[in-house]
Every structure is written in C-alpha cells, then in structure tokens.
C-alpha cells in the first residue's frame, strides 16, 4: 500500500524531492507537483513523468481531481508562503511537512526526534544547517551538559536560490532555536556563509560546543556519541560524514565564557562535517539542499507508515 503525497514548490528543492520520491520510495506515490510558474522546469519535468501538475499554487492543488486521496503535503516554498499554504490546507485531512523556516509546527530532525512528532499535523524540517548540525549537538548533549553551541554552515553560493536568500534571517533564528530545543544546548547561535568560490564548494558545517566534561572518559563518550549520530544521519543522507576526528580542547583560563553562558564549561568540542549531495536532480555540491530533501523523505515515509497502520486498525 502506498501513500499519495503532493509537493508544493516546483523549484530546485521541490523538484529534487519529487525525483527522490519517484526513485527511492516504495511507500510514497506522487499525487501532484504544485507551482506558481507555468514555465518552471519542475512542473515540466513532473508532467513528463506523468505526475499531475498545477501552476495555481495551493488553491490549484485543492481543486485537482484526486486531491482527496493526498495524505501528505511537502511544502518547499518559503516561510511566508507556507503560512498561507498551511491555512488553506488546514480544513483538509492532510499532514504537512514544512521545508521552510516557518516553524509553525514542531521542529523535526529525523535522527533525533522523529518518533516524538509522528502525530503532529505540521512538522518543520528546520533548515539545512539545522539538519546537518543539530544531530551533533544532540549527540554531545546526550552525554555531557552543553551550555552553549554555535554552528557555521558554509554552502556554495550557486546552491542558494531565491528562497534561501529571502529567508536568511529566518534561517539563523530557526536554526539557533533548534540547537536549543532539539539539540539540547542551553544557548544556541547559527551563522550561514554563502561561498561564491568557483568551482562551487561542497557544503561544510562546523559545530562548536562548550561542555562541562572534565574527564578523559567523558571525552571518549562524546566522541562515541557523535560517531553513532553520524552513522544515523548517513543512513538517510549518504553524503553526510565527518571530515576529521572530533576535537576536544580545554578552555583557556582567560576566555570570557561568561559572555556566552552562565553555566559551567570546561572544554570546547569542535566537529567538522561535510555534506555531499546525491545528485538525483541537484548537483553534488548542493548538499545543503540534498540534506533537506533526504530528511523530508525520511519523515514522509514515517508519516505514511503511521497512516497505513491507522487504516489497517480501522
């Protein structure tokens, strides 16, 4: 039994998501590709692949024949557009997966807290930086107190489309909040860098966490927890990997840690990551987009499995 889904947003992220659903998922079926630009490559590609399309936005989706069979809607538009889309779809029996920084619903990072929000009507996929780094913060905080964590996401400028550029403020705010609420840090900070280098660079992420972990045993527990988390994320994002051994250094005595946190901290943990895309539709350097679509696919399949279980029970 498959679950019919719709994708709103016929740009790069939405199109890559559609391709992943068609190629990789045995439990999901594309019910519609929705856009607002009739000339977009995403809508044209969907039509060639036999996927129903509309260029009339969410209102066009609701009017499509067969819409009543759609159970999950994945929104790859913008934060403002998602608020409108969610309002239009609220009266209908659909679950929403929000790939924008709107964060109307609970923030979900599959490797960390997916099981906690399988009944939520609207789940938020945080940001690309959040999907890459929050798992690491969560892994560290699982074994040692993390009063402060800071992440830097560096992506190729060419992989940052209009939606990403229009939502930079939401990116930093949403990611910082996820570092705290999902990752478990007492305080979080997020920075994004759009790197214009040519050829384009693969996504790189740095996680810096202040921890209260004075013993060598605590350090090894942190490294082991991070390694397990990297494996968990790589299970649905194959291009996700550490680029070097986790570094754990004592904090200098003259470092003004009190400006970052009032809680005790003895060491700084530095984790360096790389995210290479699977190149289903997007170029391999666009790991920032691939990690979003891969995480959203994992969530959609989990929601579909829950939907099937409910139908069987009923």
* CATH class of the domain whose range is 128-284: alpha beta
Instruction: Give the pLDDT of residue 79.
Output: 86
For 119-156, b/e burial (b = at least 16 CB within 10 A) is ebebbbbbbbbbbbbbbbbbbbbbbbbbbbbbbbbbbb
H-only helix segments in the chain: 12-24, 41-48, 57-63, 79-89, 110-113, 128-141, 162-166, 168-181, 216-234, 287-313
Active site residues: 128
Residue ranges of the annotated binding site for NAD(+) are 10-13, 159-167, 288
Please give the CATH number for the structural domain made up of 3-125+291-313: 3.40.50.720
**Start-end of CATH 3.30.360.10 domains in the chain:** 128-284
Question: Residue 215, CB half-sphere, CA atoms under 13 Å: how many?
Answer: 5
* Delimiting residues of CATH 3.40.50.720 domain(s) in the chain: 3-125+291-313
Crossing angle (nearest 10°) for helices 168-181 and 128-141? 20
State how far the Cα of 49 lies from the Cα of 52, in Å rounded to an integer. 9
For the whole model, what pTM was predicted? 0.93
- Contact of 155 with 175, CB cutoff 8 Å: no
pLDDT digits (tens, 9 = 90+) for 175-205: 999 999 999 999 999 999 999 999 999 999 9
In 10 A of CB 168, how many CB atoms? Answer: 13
Q: Extract the tokens encoding 12.
A: 């790069």
Per the prediction, the chain carries an average pLDDT of: 93
State pLDDT tens for residues 218-252: 999 999 999 999 999 999 999 999 999 999 999 98
């Amino acid at each position: 039994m498959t679950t019919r889904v719709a994708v709103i947003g016929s740009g790069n992220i939405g199109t890559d998501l559609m391709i992943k659903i068609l190629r990789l998922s045995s439990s999901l079926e594309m019910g519609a590709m929705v856009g607002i630009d009739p000339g977009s490559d995403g809508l044209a590609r969907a039509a060639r692949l036999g996927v129903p399309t509309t260029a009339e936005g969410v209102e066009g989706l609701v009017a499509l024949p067969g819409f009543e069979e759609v159970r999950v809607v994945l929104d790859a538009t913008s934060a403002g557009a998602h608020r409108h889309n969610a309002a239009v779809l609220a009266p209908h029996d659909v679950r929403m997966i929000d790939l924008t920084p709107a964060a109307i619903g609970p923030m979900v990072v599959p490797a960390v807290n997916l099981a906690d929000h399988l009944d939520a009507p609207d789940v938020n996929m945080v940001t690309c930086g959040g999907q890459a780094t929050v798992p690491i913060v969560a892994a560290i905080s699982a074994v040692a107190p993390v009063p402060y964590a800071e992440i830097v996401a560096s992506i190729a400028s060419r992989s940052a489309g209009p939606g990403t550029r229009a939502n930079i403020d939401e990116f930093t705010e949403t990611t910082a909040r996820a570092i705290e609420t999902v990752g478990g840090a007492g305080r979080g900070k997020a920075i994004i860098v759009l790197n214009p280098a040519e050829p384009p660079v693969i996504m790189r992420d740095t996680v810096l966490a202040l921890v209260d972990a004075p013993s060598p045993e605590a350090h090894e527990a942190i490294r082991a927890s991070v390694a397990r988390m990297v494996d968990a994320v790589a299970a649905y994002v194959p291009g996700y990997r550490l680029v070097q051994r986790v570094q754990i250094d004592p904090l200098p005595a003259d470092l003004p840690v009190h400006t970052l946190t009032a809680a005790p901290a003895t060491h700084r943990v530095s984790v360096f990551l790389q995210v290479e895309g699977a190149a289903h539709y997007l170029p391999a350097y666009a790991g920032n987009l691939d990690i979003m679509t891969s995480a959203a696919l994992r969530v959609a399949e989990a929601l579909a499995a829950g939907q099937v279980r409910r139908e069987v029970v009923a």
